[in-house]
């Protein structure tokens, strides 16, 4: 009798690690080493030329003593607040509107999702044209109804809000997909029973749909918090941080300090301040989760 060789006879206890090795090498070389190097650089004064000069905590002291840097932090928090609230609300509205089974609904979903996969620079250029003070399509429409249009990107009080809303418009389709997946978990029988009992659509939404969506909402909120701090492309393409740094955020400040002023050590400090904000908000979100994000039973 001829014994056939088992197809996995070559397998050894080290085989899984061999397959994981390329990923582990990539993680170490392109993630862990740069993280460690940037952490060290945050304690140095380096201009990309010569050797880094160790200065201890001086960069951190300078950052939190500088009024301009405090303004950058406040800009970042304002941008994040507008983005998180706007993107979650608009994403949920989109999801509720397209959570129907009618002919052609897939096309509407694709149109809403299209800005998500569109280049942020292209989106910024288009919106700069639409909100332009002289020939902008939106300002022309405002003038047509007899109202003096604002200067969206030249007004210090409006520039950050304008960029934030453009970012909301761009990313709302992504959160729509997440909320749409959550809406599929809402039992239709429960909604039908509520209608039979005389519940209005608003009562059904706030007392049935929204509580069932709480785990999905928690996940969306966590993703939105992280995404809200990744706002470089639109600010770079639309405002360059102006006017007078009123739209400069922490991410854009990292770029300016590192590649415009060549203060790499201070830029690394700003990056770690940003990391502390993201980490703190994420931890708080997980703590609050116990009170409001409860799975449907």
Residue 203 has what pLDDT?
86
Q: Which of 33, 43, 170, 175 is nearest to 96 (CA)?
A: 175
Interaxial angle between packed helices 137-144 and 120-130, expressed in degrees from 0 to 180 and rounded to the nearest 10: 30
Helical ranges in the chain per DSSP H:
15-27, 33-41, 58-65, 67-98, 105-117, 120-130, 137-144, 159-183, 188-196, 201-204, 210-212, 214-228, 232-238, 250-259, 264-292
pTM: predicted TM-score of the whole model, two decimal places:
0.87
Q: pLDDT per position in the chain (297 positions), as tens?
A: 455 655 656 667 777 888 899 999 999 999 999 999 999 999 999 988 888 999 999 999 999 999 999 999 999 999 999 999 999 999 999 999 998 878 888 888 899 999 999 999 999 999 999 998 878 889 889 888 888 888 899 899 999 999 999 999 999 999 999 999 998 888 888 888 888 888 888 888 888 888 888 889 888 998 999 899 988 999 999 999 988 889 999 999 999 999 999 999 999 999 999 999 888 888 888 887 777 665 554
- Give CA–CA dist 52/177, Å, rounded: 46
Residue 108 has what pLDDT?
86
Residue 7 has what pLDDT?
61
For the chain, what are the domain ranges?
Answer: 51-292
Dihedral through CA 280, CA 282, CA 283, CA 289, nearest 10? 140
Give domain 51-292's CATH superfamily: MetI-like (1.10.3720.10)
Residue 102 has what pLDDT?
82
Residue 10 has what pLDDT?
61
Residue 296 has what pLDDT?
52
């Amino acid at each position: 009798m001829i014994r056939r060789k088992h197809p996995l006879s070559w397998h050894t206890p080290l085989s899984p690690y061999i397959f994981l090795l390329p990923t582990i090498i990539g993680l170490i070389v392109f993630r862990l080493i740069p993280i460690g190097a940037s952490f060290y650089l945050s304690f140095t004064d380096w201009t990309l030329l010569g050797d880094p000069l160790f200065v201890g905590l001086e960069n951190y002291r300078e950052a939190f003593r500088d009024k301009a840097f405090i303004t950058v932090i406040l800009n970042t928090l304002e941008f994040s607040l507008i983005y998180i609230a706007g993107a979650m609300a608009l994403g949920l509205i989109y999801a509720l509107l397209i959570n129907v089974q009618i002919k052609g609904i897939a096309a509407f979903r694709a149109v809403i999702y299209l800005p998500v996969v569109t280049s942020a620079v292209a989106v910024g250029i288009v919106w700069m044209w639409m909100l332009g003070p002289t020939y902008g399509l939106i300002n022309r429409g405002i003038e047509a109804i007899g109202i003096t249009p604002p200067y969206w990107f030249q007004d210090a009080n409006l520039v950050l809000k304008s960029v934030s809303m453009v970012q909301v418009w761009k990313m709302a389709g992504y959160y729509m997909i997440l909320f749409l997946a959550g809406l599929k978990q809402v039992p239709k029988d429960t909604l039908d029973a509520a209608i039979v009992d005389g519940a209005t659509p608003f009562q059904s939404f706030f007392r049935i749909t929204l509580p069932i969506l709480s785990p999905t909402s928690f996940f969306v909120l966590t993703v939105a918090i992280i995404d809200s701090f990744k706002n470089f492309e639109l600010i770079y393409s639309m405002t360059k941080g102006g006017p007078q740094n009123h739209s400069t955020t922490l991410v854009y400040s990292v770029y300016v300090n590192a590649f415009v002023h060549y203060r790499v050590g201070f830029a690394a400090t700003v990056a770690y301040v940003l990391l502390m904000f993201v980490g703190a908000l994420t931890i708080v979100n997980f703590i609050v989760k116990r009170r409001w994000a409860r799975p449907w039973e």
